[in-house]
Amino acid sequence: MTWNVFKYCSILRALGSVMILLVLGIICVSYYAVVVANYGPALFDGGLDSITAFVVLSLFHFLLAMLLWSYFSVVITDPGGVPPNWIPTPDEERGDDPLVGSEDGINLSSNQSAMHGKRTNPGIRFCQKCNRFKPPRCHHCSVCGRCILKMDHHCVWVVNCVGALNYKYFLLFLFYTFLETGLVTVSLLPVFIPFFTDEEIHGTPGSLVATFITFVLNLAFVLSIMGFLIMHISLVKRNTTTIEAFEKKTTPKWHYDLGWKLNFQQVFGKKKNYWFIPAYSEDDLERVAWIKGLEYPTRPYSDDL
């Protein structure tokens, strides 16, 4: 019998709030260890130590600001839900009307009539739990209790689903977290090594404990996030999601794979000056339809998928 974690959806929702506090707690401990206990005082030592401290603190605060901006953008941004009364549009290229054969032809308001239309056209995707049609690449989230556009996964760390409208912000959160934890690990390494040597260790017991814990935590995070980030870069390159990769085991004929450049633009937009910030330009939001998560261009030779 397969264990289904989504059976405990209410527990996962409650856990998410705790995880936000945990993230902020780790940030606070790291801030104390890097800024207050070590590199803040080193600013006034003079010479090379002051220059090193200035560089480390500047990078630390910049990456921290970008990390928090990206993180809370994922938390507060709706990942994208199916609009009320949304129905599939006819496939103009094939001349197919997805609602041909349905009882009322246009507005399928009941489960029975919707399923009748689905039987007529197997290409129609319908959610039994939400009792509505599902756009392409849309999946039902048992934790959120609704269908999410281009759903990647439900993340307890951000108390939210990762979907079409906040996937870019999630990737930037991973990216800046990787850089920040890497910086903290490298900057605290000279302070961490004396714990295992005969060198004299300077600092109060509290600062030493905070430094030790911060180094271990950030080292663990940078290694784990590196693998996670590499995986998502691979997914973006192939224009697929975690769910799609798991369910369909994508092949070179994956019909949403338009080449790495267009695949990248589907997530990050076309404006280069917006690629590394958790926001989209107004031009992208108005003209790039796939950012809204309801329609995606496909390869013309992908009829078999």
Catalytic residue set: 155
CA distance 264 to 232: 11
β-pair type (160-162, 153-155): antiparallel
What SS3 state is found at 81? strand
Taking each helix axis from N to C end, the angle separating 9-31 and 205-238, rounded to the nearest 10 degrees, works out to 120
Reading phi first (left if > 0) and then psi (alpha if -120 to 50, else beta), residue 238 is in: alpha
Amino acid letter, 232: H
| 142: its two tokens | 């048992």
What SS3 state is found at 10? helix
Taking each helix axis from N to C end, the angle separating 47-76 and 9-31, rounded to the nearest 10 degrees, works out to 160
Give the number of other Cβ atoms within 10 Å of residue 118's Cβ.
19
Q: Which residues, including other chains, have CB under 8 Å from residue 155's CB and lie 6 or more apart?
A: 74, 161, 162, 170
Q: Specify the length of the chain in residues.
A: 305
Give 75's Cβ-side CA count (13 Å radius): 17
Give 288's Cβ-side CA count (13 Å radius): 21
CA distance 267 to 190: 39
- Please choose, from the candidates 156, 175, 152, the residue with its C-alpha nearest in 3D space to the C-alpha of residue 165: 152
| 83: its two tokens | 């609009």
